[in-house]
A = this chain, B = another copy of it.
């Protein structure tokens, strides 16, 4: 490689890097509606079409995103597909097609790939998505999975990160931090099992954490529930890198601040028990854990009653004017600035 000035990627972080690499991009096609900066890009094919086509892509690498010592290939396939569906739901859309790129090293057999594909195919069946193409190639270093998902939504239904407004309510589905705690648990059992062939991992009472880590689901039900309740969120994102990081994305894109109440953050009982066992700060884990694949969205204040009546949705705070910044309100009313400690793979 050529000699170049050296700026460490870690210095910029993933989002700083993307900003730098995609700065000043020009648009060549009328079919491109919005590009970088949301969970999915938005396209319009056909001049008068009311349909918007959505596209998102994710790359998963062995040793970075997953550890095959404890991740079954079928689960991995399922998860790899579902996390892409989640990005389409986060645009208030419906996933329709995926393509699957695979890089496979020599230790993988046809049966291994069938196991992986059985998970991808199961996810496609469950979510009604078609597997339409792919590329399979050899790899020198483990397994590489790259999935691209295409979806659609009516033009008026598409939700971006940038639409949150002062006084909007901040809502989140499900509970947070469980997938992260599941990962800690799996890593702990892996360490404990090192060199012992008779070892049986102990997940009793913590099955929910393991499931949230190994077999997450995308919140199709929440998107359907919002439609049924007649609510179009003003902004939405899926929680893949932790609540703090995602909320800061919404506020930055929308040009707003926010307040989130610590005691309103939904946390499962098993998550709390595990945090105590590991002597970790529970709120930190819930704010920054990552891989929750819940939906974080904002709705106008007028939707308060409708959104409060939705099962599996909790109002956790509100959007403010930008000058007040982004903060967490602690149990004693103190304000702590929200930071994107994040859960980043770069």
Chain A interface (Cβ within 8 Å of chain B)?
1-2, 4-9, 11-12, 14, 17-18, 20-22, 25-29, 31-32, 35-36, 40-41, 43, 45-46, 49-51, 53, 55-65, 68, 72-73, 96-97, 99-104, 108-115, 117, 121, 124-125, 128-142, 144, 146, 148, 150, 152, 345-346
Contacts and interface: CB of A to CB of B under 8 A. Distances in A.
Contacts of A109: 4-9
Contacts of A46: 45-46, 49-51
A213 to B, nearest CB: 17
Given A51-B46, A146-B59, A2 B72 contact: yes
30 contacts: A1-B68, A1-B73, A4-B111, A4-B115, A9-B108, A14-B136, A14-B137, A21-B114, A22-B131, A22-B134, A25-B121, A28-B124, A29-B97, A29-B130, A35-B131, A36-B131, A36-B133, A46-B50, A49-B49, A59-B101, A59-B135, A59-B137, A61-B144, A63-B140, A64-B140, A101-B148, A103-B144, A137-B346, A138-B345, A148-B148
A133 B59 contact: no
Contacts of A137: 14, 59-61, 64-65, 345-346
A102 B103 CA distance: 13
Contacts of A346: 104, 136-138
Copies of the chain in the assembly: 2
A152 to B, nearest CB: 6
A137 B64 CA distance: 9
Contact of A133 (B40, B121, B144): B40
A237 to B, nearest CB: 14
A27 B17 CA distance: 38
A46 B48 CA distance: 10
Nearest to A17: B136
A35 B132 CA distance: 4
